[in-house]
Amino acid sequence: MNLIPAIDLLDQKCVRLLRGDFDQVTFYDKDPLQLATHYESLGCKHLHLVDLNGTRDGTSKNKSIIDSIIAKTNLKVQMGGGIRSIESINYWLNSNLSKVVVGSYAIEE
């Protein structure tokens, strides 16, 4: 079995939304990079990131932390959230993500 942990990012913090509701967000006192390296130390090979700023606003406030996780771990990182254009897809593909998750909005464009 392949276990792929996920980290949801909002304003460069680890969060969880209750049923996807941005008005019901729980912020966790864990640095995203530290959490990613913790997962790696447990033997995980992959990581799924969700850029909730990108999802909600269409622009990312999490690029620096995502780039840091990619650069400072050996995890194969896939990321989704707010990827709505070819330019955004190309940016993330050029950032050494292993996979870019796009939603139907990007396909419609």
pLDDT tens profile 26-55? 999 999 999 999 999 999 999 999 999 999
pLDDT at 76 over 70: yes
Are 64 and 87 a contacting pair, CB within 8 Å? no
Measured between alpha carbons, how far is 42 from 85 in angstroms, rounded to an integer? 35
pLDDT score at 60: 87
Please give the mean pLDDT across all residues of the chain: 91
Q: Is the pLDDT of residue 65 over 90?
A: yes
* Tokens coding 30: 């864990």
- Type and span of the H or E element at 63: helix 63-72
pTM of the predicted model as reported, rounded to 2 decimal places = 0.89
Assigned CATH topology for domain 6-108:
TIM Barrel (3.20.20)
State both tokens at 70: 């990619």
| pLDDT at site 84 | 84
